Amino acid sequence: MRLGLVIDLDVCVGCHACAVACKQWNSSGTTGPLTDYDPYGADPSGVWFNRIRSFEVGEYPQSKTVNFPMSCMHCETAECVTVCPTGASYKRPEDGIVLVDQDKCMGCNYCAWACPYGARELDQASGTMKKCTLCVDRIYDEVLPEAERQPACVLTCPTRARYFGDLDDPDSAVSTVVRERGGFQSMPELGYNPTNHYLPPRVQPPAQQAENPLVSLQDKLKEWMAKAIAK
């Protein structure tokens, strides 16, 4: 299996539901707690696995605003694994999820340097690197109803812009939607072969317009006076 996420940029409105759901789930999740520094102070920040980058393309008034959620891409060629000196960083052979063993990690940050997607963060309080676990603590939990064995971000997304599944299975929802919508990887030229894909905004053909010709008001009102519609 090659589990991952597909994110639909056609409908992502940048609401941050996925980011906060992830933060919430993982606070009490397998690598929790996710530390918050100066939470009520002058410089609040903290450990998040999912961050939304919003940017604009083009110039006013034709500009487009794009909301781009980014979290670990669970790459096929995960260099964050290659560089890890302790073996804490690894990619599971059974499902391709890239994880950090919190007992082995020494927080050297080398993996964060290797990742071009900004997926890894140092939790200063625990001294370890943390990142998206693809909710490994949800997706196999048989106590949860099957429909809920999905990452928190996917379940919560209000515009249903997030999909989860096996990209090795050509009939899965994720594979199907990538095929049908022309899903793409972020920065494929870097060679990490990310598993997560993004769906581009849909391009609409121009809408049709009603075709009655303009007529003179005088003529029209005369005609309209005589028209009889029953109540």
Using the rule CB under 8 A, is 217 a contact of another protein?
A: yes
Stretch that binds another protein, among 85-93, 108-116, 168-176, 191-199 (CB under 8 A): 85-93
Using the rule CB under 8 A, is 221 a contact of another protein?
A: yes
Shortest CB 217 distance to another protein, Å: 5
- Specify the residue, 27 or 186, whose C-beta has the smaller distance to another protein: 27
Nearest to 115 by CA among 51, 35, 39: 51
Q: Which of residues 117-156 bind another protein (CB under 8 A)?
A: 125, 133, 136-137, 140-141, 143, 147, 152, 155-156
- Specify the residue, 167 or 199, whose C-beta has the smaller distance to another protein: 199
Shortest CB 197 distance to another protein, Å: 18
Shortest CB 70 distance to another protein, Å: 14
Between CA 33 and CA 40, with CA 35 as vertex, the angle to 5 degrees is 130
Size of the residue set binding another protein (CB under 8 A): 95
